[in-house]
Copies of this chain bind each other. A is one copy, B any other.
């Protein structure tokens, strides 16, 4: 009889090879020992974004300390070329939701952007990263999206790679329907191999001057998400869900 597949998945920074020993973080050790009550010999899954997914076995578990022995690779590393997401930070719960759901929906790069109507004065990258790791562990990804240093809108567009299309979620309703734009990308050979990015605005929306400037950029397409006024986080997740259904699933 084969033992049941271990269900707990943990992201670790360490290199993963057969017979390697990995010392888990205090938080992970607490989670395994106290929350999940794992014991010596119990199995977990590990991934690091580079070496695929590995089964491992608890060797020692004490108060906030846990060492696991890496056993064998269960999935090889695969490229996970999801879309980029630049987003204006909104209220805490909404931003956390964006980071968590964007990870589930396959985004590969998350970049907080300060726009004119953005209320948040600063962001906590460590919290975003912890949220992204937790979501990646849960949704079976083999990578964790990179959480970039926050930038201003001007810095974002100045540094944007010109061959990557940037779909701006335009809450004024003036943008092209998202399904039409995504289908257009898919039929364009160059764009299909070069994933796109999305930009979502703050609670108050983009300033009219920001939208004007964005529309003048060659690599920008403004897109609309239907007749209703969506909250910032709803618009962001809708766009990523459409990307998965229309581009991600077609790969």
Contact = CB atoms under 8 A, between A and B. Distances in A.
Given A104-B231, A139-B229, A177-B245, 15 more contacts: A101-B234, A104-B228, A104-B230, A105-B234, A138-B231, A139-B230, A140-B227, A141-B228, A178-B245, A179-B246, A179-B249, A225-B245, A226-B245, A226-B249, A245-B246
8 contacts: A104-B230, A104-B231, A106-B228, A179-B250, A225-B241, A237-B241, A238-B241, A242-B245
Nearest to A93: B93
A28 interface: no
Contacts of A157: none
Contacts of A141: 228
A33 interface: no
Interface SS majority for chain A: helix
A244 interface: yes
Interface residues on A, range: 20 to 34
Contact of A237 (B226, B237, B246): B237
Nearest to A228: B139
A248 interface: yes
Contacts of A228: 104-106, 139-141
Interface in A159-216: 177-179
